[in-house]
Structure 1
Amino acid sequence: MNVTAQMAGHPVPPGWLPEPLPVGELVVRSAARHGDRDALDFMGRTWTYRALLSEAMAAAQGFLALGVRPGTRVGLFLPNTPHYPIAYYGALLAGATVVNFSPLYSPEEVAFQARDSGTELMVCLDLAKLWAPMQRLLDDGLLTRLIVGNLPEVLPAAKALGFRLLKRKERQPLPHDPRVSHWQALLRSGGKKTLPVIEPSAIALLQYTGGTTGVPKGAALTHANLSANAEQLAAIDPGHGTREGRVLGALPLFHIFANSCVLNRSIISGGTITLLARFDAGEALAAIRRNRLTDLAGVPAMYQAMIDHPDVAKTSFASVQQCFSGGAAMTSALKARFEATTGARVLEGYGLTETSGVVSVNPYVGETRAGTAGLPLPGTEIRIADPEAPERVLSPEETGEILIRGPQVMTGYWRSSEGKPEPLADGWLHTGDLGFVEPGGYLRLVDRSKDMINVGGFKVFPSQVEAALLKDPAVKEALVIAVPDERVGERPKAFVVLQEGAERSPQQLLATLSERVGKHERPTALEILDDLPRTMIGKPDRKALSKIEAERREAATRQAAEGQSSGRDNRLIATA
């Protein structure tokens, strides 16, 4: 089955398609239309659109003076501070290709990505806790230039003074190295070089992801891809062009979710982004109260944290018009509780790094279906195909692999030289995700094909077992992974986090679950944890949990072979 936005009912004219644009043009146009409107708010200091464009242009001139040319890879190793949007748009205006690096990466991960991408320049902050990966890049000779900013230069005067006086130990003294220069020097280069003409087909961003094969690789996203996704998100907003959005910028900007739903979407619409250096539920609630935010974007764990925080009782959500949830499935119970507590509407959506961010979302106006990924964005087609015979398109409500075609779909992976096929065929992105389309065109995800558990030939979808566990009001979160089984190959194992104050034993949870799932779906064991491992944006990390469990099993096997006891096991665990 093929579904399009027009068929599904998003409020866009028939045949609407985004205009291919260089991403820097989004800032240029918004500065012309909304020059005196605030674009950024960081801890009380603001940048108007005119100021943001001015500093982005200064950064572009600085990059050009350092030898940046079209296609030069410029890395951003930055938390959510104003340095990020200024460097991001500045690098793109200069014709560079931006490479996002997570500040949570280890030195080894940063070095791998720098080598793979061919990053030549890097922008970072002088925070001591983030310095080790940068020192590694310098030691390995991977960079021609490291540009270092600091927090005091972007804080209001009083806060900047306090930071300098009270948090000196948190700052890293910079080495005497000709490759290291200051952020302010970049902005004050005073250059007046002619900016290059940017073709929309040029690669704007290398966004690293596990991809469909699990091997970290960079999705090559063009200017046209990124600007198209921003235009698509603006097109479905009934208030686009008429309302002044005030957006929470707590998602990390180096992640594709924030790049599309917070940064580019806000800039194209003339919205104001209230930046938080990192997500903190209390600070997010304070930002809602202080700036009367209209739009929130986050993963389910962020919404859970906000309504669990004591300050939610004194926070009015009257200004909030919509809340976007993505990155992981939101349970219907959490959606209902958040909406009942705040009165705000949650719009769930779906997207991938390979699609510049967003593929589908529940509509602003009309029916929102809990647990679904909503309707395709305009210009986007969704196809459900047989995973084993992709050329066979399935009927409505049949579960199969989700294929995507649209202007936001990447050109391919950067330097894909492992001999593995690209996940693109005839313009269709093979996502590796399984799902089906409900009546009305709403997309419902079932699971990742690689997460499916094969129990003696029977297919078990972890998400369905997790959903059954979450029906117990004592269960806050659940994650199910595959573990080896000598008889049937593999079986599911469940990990659960309980609601605060709730009491359930693993045996009780397994017994209740047996009534809700089939025999082949029943976990071979269930373990209660204080928390689940999480990805950089806060969603439960199935891959990390599988790795931890595999290491446990290897250690237990090794100890058994050596005749050793593993000692007392204090984990709350039960086996079936």
Structure 2
Amino acid sequence: MDVSRSHYCHPTPWDTHFEPLTLPELFERAVAWRGSARFLNFLGRDYSYRDIHLEACRFAAGLRDMGIGSGDRVGLFLPNVPIYASAYYGAMMAGAVVVNFSPLYTIEELSHQVADSGTRLLVTLDVPELYRTAHQVLEESALETLVVGSLAHMLPWYKGLALSTLGRSKIAKVDYGPAVRRWSEALAKPGSPRPEVAIEPGDLALLQYTGGTTGVPKGAMLTHANLSINARQVTAINPFANPETEVFMGALPFFHVFANTALLNHAVASGASIAMVPRFEAGQVLATIQRYRATGFPGVPTMFQALLDHPDFGRTNFSSLKVCISGGAPMPAPVHAKFEELSGVRLVEGYGLTESSGVVSVNPYEGLRKRGTIGQVLPGTEVILLDRGDPAQLAPEGEPGELAVHGPQVMRGYWNRPEATAEVLIERDGKIWLRTGDVAVIDEDGFLKIVDRMKDMIAVGGFKVFPSQVEDVILEHPAVKEALVIGVPDPYRGEMPRAYITLSGEESASAEQLRDWLNARVGKHERVDEVVIRDSLPRTIIGKLDRKALRREVMGG
């Protein structure tokens, strides 16, 4: 089925052409257009497009002075703070490749990825947890330089003063020296010429690490064109875009590819502003939405659940919000329905991968949408379904298959991993397709639905069980708040599904009652051997439920 053109509902035609740009070009166009307008608000302090651009230019020149140039890797070990944007665009102006690192990484995780990527310089913050980890990696790895930003200097003056005087325990004692520099010292003098570096849209811009299909962290190589086009693809499906009033709620962490495209670069492509918070905290997000009149909010399902759970939810004015976008994980139907009912805001579900620069498809913001689906592909994006047993063949008509994606946002490959690249990037009909590892179906209107991950399917006596389908059923019980289903060894059937859940508090139910309730509503081969009630379920660094981590906990290894 030609889903790219069939019943296409997004406001921009599917065959729209997007000019390949470098990210500095994309940013500079926004500065020329929106220079004095607010780009970022950080806890009450405004930064204009021109403010961040000037700082980015100074950082680019500073990198040149430190011997960092074309192709060198510059790491960002930062939460959502203003210097993230300055360092991100500034490093690229210098011709460097940005490497994103989660602020939640352990010393071992950060060391491994610094070594794998060949990162020479790392930007972090004078927050004790971050600085201690970064400094130890500096001492124990080939990392050459650590640049440390001051949190107090990024805040409104009165908050910065309070932090400097009353919150000294929250500021790291930084051992500055030749290898550890202040952010202000890493910036060239105002007016210093920018590096004269030739940057092409096809050049590498970002290394974004992902577990991929094997669980081994790999750096997805994303080019300037991948990222700049994906940002404009996302902008093209937004019928509400008005740079004068558009304010994105910036709770997603910038270091994650979803936020990189759907928040940071999307704002730049559309001339919008971002009301930032350093990390997700439900009460602070609710207050920020109301205070800054946020119009769009990209998030993950657990964020919307946390907002619903917060006592201020019912007192928050959501009238400015035109749409919320959920990605990163399947959206539980009860959460979806309850959020829309109580907030009055349309919540649309989308889909993407690190390897696709962040976004592949999304439900339309207006008009037809289908709950439980990941919507329709973005302009310029094509999808096919591959046979699950033989990816060289298409899936039989009408049957689920492995989703494969072709489009300008698909990565170049994995950093120094040619074998892994060859597994996921395949050629068919003269085009390069990204194998996602997700099993999907496509309906007659071109809406996609993810059935499950291929590696998550449970083999029960010769039958394939999709965990997400069992999860969808148990989540219908009012006592269940969250659920993950995994396969556990069974001597007779090979594997059996087992459900791990947390309770909502709306109703009481025992594990046995929930098991019996669930098993009466699913197919015989989908019945669970037990339901395990837990206080919490493991989550990834962006807050989505982590089936892989749960499987490790239960099975070991």
- The TM tier, using the shorter chain, reads over 0.9
Report which stretch shifted further, 226-235 or 496-505: 496-505
Contact 1:396–1:436, Cα closer than 8 Å, also in 2: no
Higher mean alpha-carbon deviation, 537-546 vs 302-311, is at 302-311
Q: Distance in 2 between matches of 1:419 and 1:371?
A: 31
User: Residue type matched to 1:130 in 2?
Assistant: L
SS in 2 for 1:422: helix
Q: 1:122 to 1:5 in 2, by over 3 A?
A: farther
Partners in 2 of 1:420 and 1:324 — Cα distance? 30
CA distance in 2, matches of 1:23, 1:277: 23
Q: Aligned letter for 1:70? A: S
Counterpart contact for 1:295–1:323, Cα < 8 Å: yes
Helix, strand or coil at the partner of 2:449: strand
Q: Does the 8 Å CA contact 1:127/1:171 hold for their aligned counterparts?
A: yes
| 2: CA distance, partners of 1:402 / 1:105 | 30
Choose from 496, 504, 525 the match for 2:501.
Answer: 496
Task: Work out whether residues 129 and 170 of structure 1, in 8 Å CA contact, stay in contact via their aligned partners in 2.
Answer: no
Alignment of 1:518-533 (within 5 A): 518-533=523-538
User: Residues of 2 paired with 1:481 and 1:380: CA distance?
Assistant: 32
CA contact (8 A) 1:282 1:309 kept: yes
- The Cα shift of 1:33 comes to 0.7
Q: For structure 1, which segment, 9-18 or 443-452, has the greater mean C-alpha deviation from structure 2 after superposition?
A: 9-18
* 1:451 and 2:452 matched: no
Cα displacement (A) at 1:365? 1.8
Offset from partner CA, 1:164-203 (integer Å, 9 cap, x none): 1122112221225411100011224453243312111111
Identity %: 49
Distance 1:196 1:458, change over 3 A: same
1:436 to partner: Cα distance: 0.5
Q: Can you list the C-alpha shifts for 1:278-299, whole angstroms capped at 9, x where unaligned?
A: 1011000100111011001111
User: Given the superposition, is the C-alpha separation of residues 437 and 192 from structure 1 closer, same or farther in structure 2, using an over 3 Å criterion?
Assistant: same
Deviations 1:389-422 (A, max 9, x none): 2232235542110000000000110000567733
1:408 and 2:409 correspond: yes
TM-score by length of 2: 0.96
CA distance in 2, matches of 1:119, 1:330: 36
Among residues 430, 436, 441, which one is paired with 2:435 in the alignment? 430
Distance in structure 1 (CA, Å) of the matches to 2:119 and 2:420: 23
Contact 2:240–2:322 (Cα < 8 Å) also in 1:
no
1-structure distance, mates of 2:535, 2:162: 36
In the other structure, the counterpart of 2:343 is 342
- Check the 8 A contact 2:249/2:296 in 1, yes or no: yes
1:174 aligns with 2:174: yes
Residue 457 of structure 1, CA deviation: 1.5
User: Does 1:46 pair with 2:46?
Assistant: yes
Contact 2:296–2:323 (8 Å) recurs in 1: yes
- Deviation for aligned residue 1:340: 0.9
Is 1:384 the counterpart of 2:385? The answer is yes
Which of 469, 473, 481 does residue 476 from structure 1 map onto?
A: 481
How far apart, in 2, do the equivalents of 1:419 and 1:465 lie?
Answer: 31
Which sections of structure 2, spanning at least 5 residues, go unmatched? Answer: none
**Other-structure match for 1:158:** 158
Q: Does 1:310 align with 2:315?
A: no
Q: d(CA) in 2 for partners of 1:292 and 1:366?
A: 24
Alpha-carbon shift at residue 351 of structure 1 (Å): 0.3
Please give the per-residue CA displacement for 1:454-512, whole angstroms capped at 9, x wherever unaligned.
11211011001101111111111110112122222222111011102531101001101
Q: Is the 8 A contact 2:94 2:195 kept in 1?
A: no
Going from structure 1 to structure 2, the CA distance change for 1:516 and 1:158 (only over 3 Å counts) comes to: same
Which position in structure 2 is the counterpart of 1:238?
Answer: 239
Q: Distance in 1 between matches of 2:331 and 2:194?
A: 49
Residue 61, structure 1, aligned to residue 66, structure 2: no
Q: CA RMSD in A?
A: 1.6
- Aligned AA (1:95): G
Please give the secondary structure, in 2, of the residue aligned with 1:198: coil
**1:243 positional shift:** 5.3
Deviates more, 1:268-277 or 1:58-67: 58-67
Deviation at 1:384, TM superposition (A): 1.1
Once residues 66 and 529 of structure 2 are traced to their aligned partners in structure 1, the CA distance between those partners, rounded to angstroms, is 58
Q: Quote the Cα distance in structure 2 between the aligned partners of 1:259 and 1:479.
A: 28
> Contact between 2:437 and 2:453, CA under 8 Å: does it hold in 1?
yes
Query: Which SS does the other structure have where 1:8 is aligned?
Result: coil
- The alpha-carbon deviation at position 218 of structure 1 amounts to 0.5
> Aligned residue for 1:260?
261
Quick check: 1:40–1:82 contact (8 Å CA) kept in 2?
yes
CA contact (8 A) 1:396 1:438 kept: no
CA distance in 2 between counterparts of 1:474 and 1:195 reads 61
Whether contact under 8 Å (2:204, 2:221) holds in the other structure is yes
Matched residue of 2:391: which SS?
Answer: strand
1:244 CA displacement: 2.8
Question: Per the alignment, do residues 176 and 41 of structure 1 end up closer, same or farther by CA in structure 2, a change over 3 Å counting?
Answer: closer
Q: CA deviation at 1:342?
A: 0.8
Measured after TM superposition, the shift of residue 530 of structure 1 is 1.1
1:206-355 equivalent positions in 2, closer than 5 A: 206-240=207-241, 244-355=245-356
CA contact (8 A) 1:108 1:133 kept: no
Per-residue deviation, 1:56? 1.2
Rounded Cα–Cα distance in structure 1 between residues aligned with 2:421 and 2:12 = 38
Task: Point out where structure 1 has 5 or more consecutive residues left out of the alignment.
Answer: 555-576
Instruction: Find the residue that maps to 2:230 and give its secondary structure.
Output: helix
The answer to whether 1:506 aligns with 2:511 is yes
State the partner residue of 2:367. Answer: 366
Deviation at 1:104, TM superposition (A): 0.6
What is the CA-CA distance between 1:242 and the residue it aligns to? 5.9
Number of residue pairs aligned between Structure 1 and Structure 2: 552
Per mean C-alpha deviation after superposition, the further-off stretch among 13-22 and 162-171 is 13-22
Helix, strand or coil at the partner of 2:409: coil
Where do 1:18-97 residues align within 5 Å?
Answer: 18-97=18-97
Distance between the aligned counterparts of 1:84 and 1:285, measured in 2? 23
Alpha-carbon distance between aligned partners in 1 of 2:339 and 2:327, rounded to the nearest angstrom = 15
Residue in 2 aligned with 1:570? none
Note closer, same or farther for the CA distance 1:5–1:140 as it changes in structure 2 (3 Å cut): farther
